[in-house]
Amino acid sequence: MANDIDLQDLRVAVTGGTSGLGLALVRLLTGRGARVAFVARGAQTVRHIAGATGAVGIVGDVGNKHDTYPVAMQITGNLGGLDALINNASALGPTPLALLADTQCEELEQALAVNLIGPFRLTKALFGALAASAGAGRGAVVINISSDAAVNAYSCWGAYGASKAALRHMTAIWAEEAKMERISFLSLDPGDMDTPLHALAIPDADPTTLKRPDRAAMEIVTALLAALPNYAVRAVAEQQ
Amino acid sequence: MDNHRLDRSPAKLLAVDANGAVRHLPRTRLSSVFSAGDLIVANDAATLPASLVGHHCASREPIEVRLAAWVSHHNLREFAAIAFGSGDHSTRTEDRSPPPPLAPGDRLSLGPLTAVIERLLDHPRLFRLRLSCDSATILAGLAQHGRPIQYAHIPEPLALWDVWTRIAADPIAFEAPSAGFAFDWRTLAAWRQRGICFTTLTHAAGISSTGDPALDARLPFDEPYHIPERTAAAIAHARSRGARIIAIGTSVVRALESAADAVGSIPPGHGIARGRIGRQTPLRTVDALLTGVHQTGDSHFELLRAFASDAVLATVSEAFRAWDYQPHEFGDSLLIERQRRARHQA
């Protein structure tokens, strides 16, 4: 992404926006002038990040269906519409990581609630707003944050991997269905990053071997802009 | 209940053509009354949780405040609102107890939000209220504490997912633009395949009933709307080829007929729909209306008089009664074409 692209006309929502990749996305997008709303569970942290970045902080739990529409209303009400939704909030499942045969059913259900059903619900609630943006010629894109665990069968990553695999496939199906409404759906794997989630999964990992979240955020925003006609045209023009 | 009431079986549709002929259909056959080239216009407003319970600070009496209209577009700090006393939606609005006496300067504690009554609007239950925090805090307070406005005919509490149509986008309506429950994304795809055109506008549908005859006579309140450029262009294109323009919901009729100039052209942009549409209103743009089942006397039914004569509407009312059409916002539907005679009069 070119460093000087001004994003002040862009309206983006990010779930899980107070740590790791989500926080890096909020910082990057607000730093370029985009209008950003982020969602996270902790009221105090949400207030702190909102104050520090200028983004709109929304307290809500992606894994709780009763929060979905109230969160959606706050996103579109605050931003005046929505061009891009980044479903980033993720749950690891059991920690420490566990073999499937040792995983509690409730732990799998929680991973599915946050990693699959939450993004489904929020995307569905915001589909009208995204369609309105697409219809107005602004484009619209949903980015679901995936993982290599969605593709590869890693021992002890059952709850997380199964939920991310389902999310990845749901994204592919929705991408086909939403072509009629001109809404893009992308499943993006940011790679192994130095984040709290990764530390929770692999506490003894060497952080120097892991990708920095701000680099992953840059790659995701580049893909996001490429999916929006106004910015894709500009990016091509700047490359020439 | 995240299934929208359109899934209940089997919703009915009464279709009235331009000659006043009436026929009954299952609503699943709605598309059969549209033709290739028709332009369907729907309201994509999402619905606010506009009912707030709390108490009147001076008297400590319980109060339900229903946000009823915008004072200025997208200004979340000021609303026109109505109030009830104790009780909830399960009591008919006509039978609800009145709020404690209200006066300018009174504070209302509404969950996480505190409102101040700025002034009464010529009625003891209708007033302008002010919220003093920023927009994000107000939206968070509404999200946390507000409930959709609802009426006694549906006893179970509604959630936001019950009152957002499939196309709900900008949350500016106080009550659901409920005609939009008649279609979903699959319907839109089917229309597109058949060459039936579809577009949207955004209209802040206001409160539909207060339970007070004097207040109901003042409905609908002024309602802001926005007509996107693509919608204005689609309407111009449809008119240029003589295609029908079909409004999904009375709010779309109000927006389009408010925006229309003398020859029926629609400029894009923001506007405010004022006053009632009725028998004397010439329809300049809309050719047909899909709406719910309304009863004689309410403002939605009176709007139908712009489309059809009293005789035709009497036939419609009789058909509703004889065939047990369900009248509420999740009920059955009416599609009515502007009558040929009415068109000539206009």
Contact between chains at B139 and A127 (C-beta distance less than 8 A): no
Q: Are residues B61 and B16 in the same domain?
A: no
Interface probe for A, chosen from B3, B164, B203 (most Cβ of A below 10 Å), is: B164
C-alpha B127 chain-centroid distance: 21
Contact between chains at A69 and B139 (C-beta distance less than 8 A): no
Query: Among A58, A128, A13, which Cα is nearest to B4's?
Result: A128
Whether B46 contacts chain A with CB within 8 A: yes
Q: Are residues B64 and B19 in the same domain?
A: no
The residue to which tokens 């009664």 are assigned:
B321
Beta carbons of B178 and B252 less than 8 angstroms apart:
no
Is position B42 within any domain?
yes
Nearest to A78 among B135, B164, B169 (CB): B135
Which of B93, B118, B145 is the last residue before a domain boundary?
B145
What stretches of chain B adopt beta strand conformation (E)?
12-16, 22-26, 39-43, 46-47, 51-56, 61-70, 78-84, 107-110, 113-123, 126-131, 171-173, 197-203, 223-227, 245-248, 269-273, 288-292, 333-337
pLDDT of residue A126: 98
Contact between chains at B136 and A65 (C-beta distance less than 8 A): no
Phi-psi region of B151 (alpha: psi -120 to 50; beta: other; left: phi over 0): beta
What is the distance in angstroms between the Cα of A207 and the nearest Cα belonging to chain B? 37
Contact between chains at B136 and A74 (C-beta distance less than 8 A): yes
What is the domain range of residue B281?
5-47+164-345
Whether B166 contacts chain A with CB within 8 A: yes
Using alpha carbons only, give the angle B62, B63, B67 rounded to the nearest 5 degrees.
Answer: 160
Is position B150 within any domain?
no
Within a 10 A sphere around the Cβ of B10, how many other Cβ atoms? 9
* pTM, entire model: 0.94
Beta carbons of B278 and B310 less than 8 angstroms apart:
no
pLDDT of residue B9: 53
Contact between chains at B170 and A80 (C-beta distance less than 8 A): yes
Q: Are residues B42 and B66 in the same domain?
A: no
Contact between chains at B46 and A76 (C-beta distance less than 8 A): yes
Q: Distance between CA atoms of A170 and B276, rounded to whole angstroms? A: 46
Is position B157 within any domain?
no
Q: Are residues B24 and B63 in the same domain?
A: no
What is the distance in angstroms between the Cα of A114 and the nearest Cα belonging to chain B? 18
Nearest to A132 among B136, B143, B200 (CB): B200
What is the distance in angstroms between the Cα of B140 and the nearest Cα belonging to chain A? 7
Contact between chains at B166 and A180 (C-beta distance less than 8 A): no
Q: Distance between CA atoms of B269 and B159, rounded to whole angstroms? A: 31
Nearest to A129 among B2, B160, B169 (CB): B169
Is position B288 within any domain?
yes
Residues of A in contact with B136 (CB under 8 A): 56-57, 74, 78
State phi, psi for B228 to the nearest 5 degrees: -65, 160
Taking any CB pair shorter than 8 Å as contact, residues of chain A touching chain B are: 56-59, 65-66, 68-74, 76-78, 80-81, 121, 125, 127-129, 131-132, 135-137, 180-181
Pairing of strands B51-56, B61-70: antiparallel
Residues of B in contact with A181 (CB under 8 A): 185
Whether B143 contacts chain A with CB within 8 A: yes
Contact between chains at B169 and A65 (C-beta distance less than 8 A): no
DSSP A157: B
Report the C-alpha dihedral over residues A72, A73, A79, A84, rounded to 10 degrees: 20
DSSP B328: S
Residues of A in contact with B198 (CB under 8 A): none
What is the distance in angstroms between the Cα of B238 and the nearest Cα belonging to chain A? 18
Q: Are residues B110 and B236 in the same domain?
A: no
Is position B327 within any domain?
yes
Q: Are residues B198 and B289 in the same domain?
A: yes
Q: Distance between CA atoms of A155 and B7, rounded to whole angstroms? A: 42
Which of B112, B145, B178 is the last residue before a domain boundary?
B145
Q: Distance between CA atoms of B79 and B71, rounded to whole angstroms? A: 5
Using alpha carbons only, give the angle B160, B184, B307 rounded to the nearest 5 degrees.
Answer: 95
Q: From first to last of its 346 residues, what are the pLDDT tens digits of chain B?
A: 444 444 455 899 999 999 999 999 999 999 999 999 999 999 999 999 999 999 999 999 999 999 999 999 889 999 999 999 998 998 999 899 999 999 999 999 999 999 999 999 999 999 999 998 999 999 999 999 999 999 988 889 999 999 999 999 999 999 999 999 999 999 999 999 999 999 999 999 999 999 999 999 999 999 999 999 999 999 999 999 999 999 999 999 999 999 999 988 999 999 999 989 999 999 999 999 999 998 887 778 899 999 999 999 999 999 999 999 988 888 999 999 999 754 444 4
Q: Are residues B337 and B278 in the same domain?
A: yes
User: Environment class of residue B290 by beta-carbon count within 10 Å: exposed (0-12), middle (13-18) or buried (19+)?
Assistant: buried
Which of B87, B117, B145 is the last residue before a domain boundary?
B145
pLDDT of residue A60: 98
Is position B151 within any domain?
no
pLDDT means over runs of 10, chain A (240 residues) = 79 97 98 97 98 98 98 98 98 96 98 98 98 96 97 97 98 97 97 87 88 95 95 64
Contact between chains at B161 and A69 (C-beta distance less than 8 A): yes
Residues of B in contact with A68 (CB under 8 A): 161
Q: How many domains does chain B have?
A: 2
Whether B270 contacts chain A with CB within 8 A: no
Nearest to A56 among B136, B165, B167 (CB): B136
Query: Among B247, B248, B268, which Cα is nearest to B259's?
Result: B268
Query: Among A59, A55, A118, A52, which Cα is nearest to A89's?
Result: A118
- We report the CATH number of the domain holding residue B251 as 3.40.1780.10
pLDDT of residue B41: 98
What is the distance in angstroms between the Cα of A169 and the nearest Cα belonging to chain B? 20
Residue type, A137: G
A with B: how many residue pairs have Cβ under 8 Å apart? 82
C-alpha B223 chain-centroid distance: 10
Q: Distance between CA atoms of A165 and A89, rounded to whole angstroms? A: 15
Is position B85 within any domain?
yes
Q: Are residues B265 and B327 in the same domain?
A: yes
Contact between chains at A69 and B160 (C-beta distance less than 8 A): yes
Contact between chains at A58 and B140 (C-beta distance less than 8 A): yes
Q: Distance between CA atoms of B160 and B175, rounded to whole angstroms? A: 11
Is position B75 within any domain?
yes
Nearest to A128 among B136, B168, B230 (CB): B168
A144 - beta bridge partners?
Answer: A87, A187
Q: How far is CA B292 from CA A87, B46, B327, in A?
A: 36, 18, 7
pLDDT of residue B342: 46
Q: Are residues B174 and B64 in the same domain?
A: no
Contact between chains at A74 and B144 (C-beta distance less than 8 A): no
Residues 6+ apart with CB under 8 A from A51: none
Structure tokens at A130: 């995204």
Q: Are residues B204 and B304 in the same domain?
A: yes
Domains and their CATH numbers in chain A: 11-239 (3.40.50.720)
Residues of B in contact with A127 (CB under 8 A): 166, 185
Q: Are residues B120 and B266 in the same domain?
A: no
Q: Are residues B137 and B185 in the same domain?
A: no
First to last CA, chain B: 44
pLDDT of residue A4: 67
Give me the helix-helix angle, A118-135 and A158-177, nearest 10°. Answer: 20
Residue range A180-226, pLDDT digits in tens: 999 999 999 999 888 888 888 889 888 888 989 999 999 999 999 99
